[in-house]
Amino acid sequence: MTIDMGEYVAVMGPSGSGKSTLMHIIGCLDVATSGIYRLAGDDVGHMDEDDLAAVRNRRVGFVFQQFNLLASMTAERNVELPLVYAGMDRAERRARATAALERVGMGDRLEHRPGELSGGQQQKVAIARALVTDPDLVLADEPTGNLDSVSSADVMAVFGELHQSGRTVVLITHEADVAARAERLVRMHDGMISSDDQATEPAR
Amino acid sequence: MNSLETFRTGLEAIRAHRMRSALTVLGILIGIAAVIMTVGLGEGAQAKVSSEISSLGTNLLTVSPGSSTSSSGIRGGFGSATTLTLQDADALASKTVAPAIAAVAPTTQDEEVLTAGTANWTTSVVGTEADWLGVRARTVVEGRFLDEEDVADHTDVVVLAPTTASELFGFEDAVGQTVNIAGIPFTVIGELNSVGGSGSSSTTSSQDDEAIVPITTAADQIFGGTTRDSVQSILIEATSSTTLTAAYQETDDELLMLHHITTPTDADFTIATQQQLLSTATSVDKTLTVLLAGIAAISLLVGGIGVMNIMLVSVTERVREIGLRKALGATPKLIRRQFLVESSILGLSGGLLGAVLGIVGTQVLPSLVNQPMSLSVWATIGAIVIAMAIGLGFGVYPATRAARLAPIDALRNE
């Protein structure tokens, strides 16, 4: 399977079909036991831990179903975190984190902690964190799995915008209406890709 | 990620678990404070003993009869006790024989019952000569001390130490009164100064409780015995601390010659310096200090294991956080450093707080338990360094475990 720059891909499949594993391999969180995965032409299988950390830091942005924000930190600090690992200085980190939060419509919640935000707001903070390093690839693992329909629509609108601005987006979902927004739908079954279709007219 | 940022992350993690961190710090704190206070107690006791011993007189040599070893076998206690004589003392007092010796005081000593009117008191009666006062660095607060005539004439006079005087005469003036020693009336001619200070130790209290009589009178009338010239010890004062070694040599040479001994190992006397007395007395305290510090060190070790335990719990509990940090680009090295910084902060703050508690303790405790304590600078600095090292050392294993977690396993953990 090849995913081109700027594509918007949805991965669907029943539980245990391997879609999460696929995403982990794409995001360099896991290394494939066999086969080759090339990210922007580089073979990830031969990278050491430090190189993988650098790839995760610069090229990939993750959005998780559980949000995975650090409860003790403010929204702004949470978004800053990848930049901390990138070695950026504090003033620039703050500026970029603020800009990323404003972009997802959370500019007025900079100093809130995750516990003080709704699920949809937390997920938007998590998306801002995925964006802040300006990655080529945004990966989302059931980003709307824990959200109500209004928040889901909100979050999906953000992904739509990301795609519009030219970023590659891969998202995993159970929900057909979420998958319908993507340009390309990959279905998985028992660890194999069972279908791979270009949507003729993606829903907006 | 720079070190300031790592430090900040560590602080954030500690703040997120305030109670747990505080208890861990408490474990280290108690250990460090215990080390500082026990070392302070030991050093205080040593300082007290050495100041007491130097208060006995400076540049002092003590000659005692009887050599510890002898080529002819072990000598009997009584036989060896008569090998030192007044003639030995007189010979040493000669400036031509021993120029490094400033003063010589032969002494005999025994416990006797003193009575005055209805009061009676058992104390040590010391028979000696006029130079004793200077050799022992004492002064007379009232009346006068023994003079050479008293010794030459075998006068029945006595000089009392303050405790003895007050036990026998209460608040009355002791000088001019009569004291019966072994049934013989003695006139009190003077009272010695007090060296007691806190007065809690046996060394000082014995110095404040004694009765001094002329050595000749003591031999004739109080102690009796067959060899009236024999003395129990000869106290020698060197002219200065620099001539102490010379004084030692002169005493040794002169006594060997007088006693007709050719091989020094056969000597029937021993010469002790204050330094030797000091090291004997302080060695007991040192042993005690080491023992106490050992116990304190064990509590410090327990504190260290506490740090490791907390850090392991922390790693287990924060598996998701570690996974997330790795997913966001943290290298294993950075994760390890974060946990090490965290445990070092715990150790260091425990060390600093413990040092504060220890320093306060060494200032406050002495007034409560009437024990001298001295603050040891090296023990304080050492304790803080050790606390930090404990935090770091016991943090290595948990930090390494955290760094080794695979990001995906860590994220999957619920």
pLDDT in tens, B122-148: 888 999 998 888 888 888 888 899 888
Backbone angles phi, psi at B245, to 5 degrees: -65, -40
Q: Which residues of A fall within a CB distance of 8 Å from B332?
A: 49-50, 53
Tell me, yes or no, whether A3 lies in a domain: no
Q: Beta strands of B29-70 (E only): which ranges?
A: 60-65
- Lowest-confidence segment of B43-52, B122-131, B181-190 by average pLDDT: B43-52
The pLDDT of B249-275, averaged and rounded, is 82
Tell me if chain A has a CB within 8 Å of the CB of B319.
no
- Which band of pLDDT confidence, cut at 50, 70 and 90, is reported for residue B57? low
Tokens 């120029």 -> residue: B99
Mean model confidence pLDDT for chain B: 81
Best of A21, A29, A76 to substitute, by most chain B Cβ atoms within 10 angstroms, is A29
Q: Is the pLDDT of residue B120 over 80?
A: yes
Tell me, yes or no, whether A144 lies in a domain: yes
Does the beta-carbon distance from B329 to A29 stay under 8 Å?
Answer: no
- Which band of pLDDT confidence, cut at 50, 70 and 90, is reported for residue B79? very low
| CA–CA min distance A132, chain B (Å) | 11
Q: Could you give the CA distance from residue B90 to residue B106 in angstroms, rounded to a whole number?
A: 9
Which amino acid is residue A197, in one-letter code? D
Closest-CA residue of B relative to A81 is: B328
Whether B28 and B306 have beta carbons less than 8 Å apart is answered as yes
* Domain ranges (residues) in chain B: 3-52+280-412, 67-267
Q: Could you give the CA distance from residue A25 to residue A35 in angstroms, rounded to a whole number?
A: 11
Does the beta-carbon distance from A53 to B330 stay under 8 Å?
Answer: yes
Tell me, yes or no, whether A49 lies in a domain: yes
Does the beta-carbon distance from A82 to B334 stay under 8 Å?
Answer: no
CB atoms within 10 A of CB B251: 25
Backbone angles phi, psi at B271, to 5 degrees: -115, 125
Token duo for residue A17:
């079909």
Does the beta-carbon distance from B327 to A73 stay under 8 Å?
Answer: no
Q: Could you give the CA distance from residue B11 to residue B38 in angstroms, rounded to a whole number?
A: 32
Tokens 């939060």 -> residue: A101
Q: Which residues of B fall within a CB distance of 8 Å from A129?
A: 328
Q: Could you give the CA distance from residue A100 to residue B76 in angstroms, rounded to a whole number?
A: 98
Q: Which residues of A fall within a CB distance of 8 Å from B411?
A: 29, 64, 68
- Which band of pLDDT confidence, cut at 50, 70 and 90, is reported for residue A202? low
Q: State in Å, rounded, how far the first CA of chain A is from the last one.
A: 25
Query: In Å, how far are A36, A135, A158, B140, B159 from B178, measured between CA atoms?
Result: 114, 107, 112, 18, 11
- How far, in whole angstroms, is CA B32 from its chain's centroid? 22
pLDDT in tens, A141-197: 888 877 888 888 888 888 888 888 888 889 888 888 888 888 888 888 888 888 888
Tell me, yes or no, whether A146 lies in a domain: yes
Q: Is the pLDDT of residue A74 over 80?
A: yes
Whether B15 and A72 have beta carbons less than 8 Å apart is answered as yes
Per-residue b or e along B2-14, where b marks 16 or more CB atoms closer than 10 Å to that residue's CB: eeebbbbbbeebb
Query: Domain residues for A150?
Result: 8-198
Q: Could you give the CA distance from residue B105 to residue B236 in angstroms, rounded to a whole number?
A: 6
| CA–CA min distance B407, chain A (Å) | 6
Tell me, yes or no, whether A203 lies in a domain: no
Token duo for residue A93:
């980190």
Q: Could you give the CA distance from residue B414 to residue B405 in angstroms, rounded to a whole number?
A: 15
**CATH number, domain with residue A52:** 3.40.50.300
Tell me if chain A has a CB within 8 Å of the CB of B16.
yes
Helix axes B274-317, B377-404, angle to 10 degrees: 20
Q: Is the pLDDT of residue B198 over 50?
A: no
Closest-CA residue of B relative to A50 is: B331
Tell me, yes or no, whether A2 lies in a domain: no
- Which band of pLDDT confidence, cut at 50, 70 and 90, is reported for residue B157? very high
Q: Could you give the CA distance from residue B44 to residue B366 in angstroms, rounded to a whole number?
A: 10
pLDDT of residue A201: 57
Tell me, yes or no, whether A108 lies in a domain: yes
Q: Is the pLDDT of residue A108 over 90?
A: no
Kindly tell me the burial class for residue A15, based on how many C-beta atoms sit within 10 Å of its own C-beta (0-12, 13-18, 19 or more).
exposed
- Lowest-confidence segment of B38-42, B186-190, B265-269 by average pLDDT: B265-269
- Which band of pLDDT confidence, cut at 50, 70 and 90, is reported for residue B73? low
Considering only CA atoms, which of B208, B213, B237 is closest in space to residue B141? B208
pLDDT of residue B199: 44
Considering only CA atoms, which of B110, B109, B159 is closest in space to residue B130? B159
Does the beta-carbon distance from A82 to B320 stay under 8 Å?
Answer: no
- Which band of pLDDT confidence, cut at 50, 70 and 90, is reported for residue B189? very high
Tell me, yes or no, whether A130 lies in a domain: yes
Considering only CA atoms, which of A23, A28, A24 is closest in space to residue A48? A28
Count: domains in chain A:
1
Does the beta-carbon distance from B328 to A71 stay under 8 Å?
Answer: no
Q: Could you give the CA distance from residue A19 to residue A11 in angstroms, rounded to a whole number?
A: 7
Total beta-carbon pairs less than 8 A apart between chain A and chain B: 64
Backbone angles phi, psi at B165, to 5 degrees: -60, -45
Does the beta-carbon distance from B328 to A56 stay under 8 Å?
Answer: yes
| CA–CA min distance A139, chain B (Å) | 11
Query: In Å, how far are A43, A92, B113, B159, B188 from B169, measured between CA atoms?
Result: 104, 89, 15, 13, 11
